[in-house]
């Protein structure tokens, strides 16, 4: 989760599809363009960070389960690479 600390702001000028912005405002229940863009960015970042954490957890579980699926001693030995 994002913690608000030392927030720096940057003014940026961009072209935005007005229909898409209107849809986003309705979907995110925001009144202003700024609030809509910030919420959309926040949700995108949160989703990406969550997906990354879930992927890392799955990979960690898989690696932890390797000993029940493979002979780790053999994999680590020179026999494996002959």
Give the pLDDT mean for 12-20. Answer: 96
**Residue pLDDT, tens place only, 36-64:** 999 999 999 999 999 999 999 999 998 88
Q: Answer whether residue 18 shows pLDDT above 70.
A: yes
DSSP letters, 5-61, are -S-----------HHHHHHHHHHHT-SSHHHHHHHHHHHHHHHHHHHHHHHHHHHHH
Catalogue the long-range contacts made by 10-17 (C-beta closer than 8 Å, 24 or more residues apart).
none
Q: Which residue has the higher pLDDT, 6 or 66?
A: 66
- Sorting pLDDT into bands at 50, 70 and 90, what band is 6? low
0.85 surpassed by pTM: no
3 three-state secondary structure = coil
């Amino acid at each position: 989760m994002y913690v608000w600390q030392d927030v720096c702001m940057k003014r940026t000028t961009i072209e935005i599809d007005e229909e898409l912005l209107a849809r986003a405002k309705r979907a995110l229940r925001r009144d202003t363009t700024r609030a809509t863009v910030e919420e959309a960015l926040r949700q995108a970042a949160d989703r990406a960070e969550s997906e990354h954490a879930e992927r890392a957890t799955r990979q960690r579980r898989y690696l932890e389960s390797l000993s029940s699926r493979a002979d780790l001693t053999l994999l680590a030995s020179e026999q494996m690479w002959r």
